[in-house]
Structure 1
């Protein structure tokens, strides 16, 4: 990870894209996929302790928001979804279900997927709730801002709890994108839902 700290994010992404090209891996944005693939992704989430279980119905719902997949031949070797939450009249998108096949995990393909999803939702409120320190580091590289629960309004914390997204901050961190960060002040004044005064 120390190597990444001193490297330009654009260079890292370019290297990941070059790796995909050399390996015949295609990056695609999809809004639909076969029931068989949906079942595979759901089963994988049940089998891996690092992923929260996602049933097939929820995956189909998330697909409507877009899913970036890495495809080699007929195999999906990576994916990331966006899940839409409705918080006091606002849509907040959460990057979710990031997964890369173990064979391809040393080439920053997770960062590539995160980058694409972050760009797709640059004009929307985007949040990342993650446990893995590597994902926290990637969020920082993508210029997302770490926000502590203590700085959020009680209303938003209540909403996170209702959504099942309230986590132990010793292990989980909350990151927001630039739009979220820029408009927090306005949202505080209008609804006071995201951060305390």
Structure 2
């Protein structure tokens, strides 16, 4: 994180892309994955305390919204999904299941994945729910705004509660993209 404190975020993302290119790692947007890969991701989410557990069935639904992968051949080095919530007839997408292989975590690949997903949903309501300070920092670098539960629509809070996504604000933070922030009153 210290390496990007005084650096332009675009430059950092470009360097991450160059690193991927040098390592032969592809950055792919996919809408379908083999069942065996979904099972690995699901198991990983169960084993890692920083990930919220995601069943294979839920991953099948999420992948329809898009998933960015970092991969070389059949080996996956990172991923991020989008989970769709429905609130008052609007779709609210949540960036979810961010993971980068431990051997590649010092190259800002998590930021790269978050950036790609944020760009994909520029014209949509996008939310990020995370507990890791590094992810909070990345959200801010990507132009997302921290919001409290009190600032959110009651309907959205209820939807997140149904899914078990509602967290305490001492340990988790919620960030929304500019589109969501500008139009959030529509969900009130």
TM-score (ref. length: structure 1):
0.92
Q: Could you list the per-position Cα deviations for residues 104-146 of structure 1 after superposition, in whole angstroms to 9, with x for gaps in the alignment? A: 0000000000000000000100000000000000000000000
1:156-167 residue pairs with structure 2 within 5 A? 156-167=156-167
Instruction: Structure 1: give runs of 5+ residues left out of the alignment.
Output: 193-197
1:51-130 residue pairs with structure 2 within 5 A? 51-130=51-130
The aligned length equals 188
1:115-194 residue pairs with structure 2 within 5 A? 115-185=115-185, 187=186, 191-192=187-188
Distance in structure 1 (CA, Å) of the matches to 2:60 and 2:70 = 18
RMSD: 1.2
Distance in structure 2 (CA, Å) of the matches to 1:27 and 1:153 = 34
Q: CA deviation at 1:49?
A: 1.2
Instruction: Structure 2: give runs of 5+ residues left out of the alignment.
Output: none
User: Which moved further from structure 2: 33-42 or 107-116?
Assistant: 33-42
Q: Secondary structure at the match of 1:20?
A: helix
Q: CA deviation at 1:5?
A: 2.0
Distance in structure 2 (CA, Å) of the matches to 1:37 and 1:182 = 37
Distance in structure 2 (CA, Å) of the matches to 1:148 and 1:66 = 27
Q: Secondary structure at the match of 1:49?
A: coil
Distance in structure 1 (CA, Å) of the matches to 2:154 and 2:59 = 29
TM-score (ref. length: structure 2):
0.96
